[in-house]
């Protein structure tokens, strides 16, 4: 599952406005609603909060990947938020979270969810990718960069298991 293919052009925010985890969950939920695949940001936010209670989604190296499944979705969607100054979010390595990639998917399709999570985590393990994502000046540039490194050429998409390892 390619990240740039489950992102809508309105589902990226750089910089994030909030500095807290709960505020970021709300921002990410609103960005996911902008995909046109779900209408209720509260349902998405609650799903993120519920998932976070089972274990932290901040994986280190300045990255958090909040993710959840809900019966209100029929396909995977993603949102990205960048916080160059860092967020107030507990992390395993103590490094502030600067990149948040939120994933939401259908409750009945865990394999699809895990595939998106695995791809996203693998992409964000690369130091050069993390550095570039924090440095890009605009949403457009961020989307173009993702498409470039993932090998996709399509324009912005129209509305239509815990991660482990050495991060």
Instruction: Give me the active site residues, please.
Output: 67
pLDDT at res. 152: 67
pLDDT of the chain, 167 residues: tens digit per residue: 789 999 998 999 999 999 999 999 999 999 999 989 889 899 999 999 999 999 999 999 999 999 999 998 999 999 999 999 999 899 999 999 999 999 999 999 999 999 999 999 999 999 999 999 999 999 999 999 999 999 864 444 433 333 334 44
State the Cα angle at 122 between 146 and 159, rounded to 5°: 45
Q: Is the pTM of this model over 0.85?
A: yes
Q: How far is CA 91 from the centre of its chain?
A: 16
Domains of the chain and any CATH numbers:
3-150 (3.40.930.10)
Question: What are the beta bridge partners of residue 77?
Answer: 104
Cα(102)–Cα(31) distance, integer angstroms: 9
pLDDT at res. 37: 87
pLDDT at res. 1: 73
Q: What is the pLDDT of residues 62-97, one digit of tens each?
A: 999 999 999 989 999 999 999 999 998 999 999 999
Residue 59, both tokens: 């994986």
Residue 145's contacts (CB-CB under 8 Å, 6 or more residues apart) are: 132, 133, 136
Residue 132 Cα distances to 45, 54, 103, 145, angstroms? 27, 31, 20, 8
């Amino acid at each position: 599952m390619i990240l740039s293919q489950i992102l809508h052009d309105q589902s990226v925010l750089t910089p994030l406005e909030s500095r807290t985890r709960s505020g970021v969950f709300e921002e990410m939920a609103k960005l996911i609603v902008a995909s046109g695949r779900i209408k209720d940001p509260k349902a998405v936010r609650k799903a993120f909060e519920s998932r976070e209670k089972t274990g932290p989604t901040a994986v280190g190296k300045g990255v958090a990947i909040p993710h959840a499944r809900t019966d209100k979705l029929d396909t995977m969607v993603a949102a990205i938020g960048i916080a160059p100054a860092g967020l107030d979010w507990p992390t395993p390595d103590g490094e502030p979270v600067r990149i948040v990639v939120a994933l939401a998917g259908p409750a009945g399709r865990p394999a699809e969810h895990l595939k998106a999570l695995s791809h996203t985590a693998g992409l964000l393990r690369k130091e050069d990718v993390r550095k570039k994502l924090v440095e890009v000046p605009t949403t457009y540039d961020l989307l173009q960069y993702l498409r470039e490194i993932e090998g996709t050429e399509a324009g912005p998409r129209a509305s239509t298991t815990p991660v482990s390892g050495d991060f």
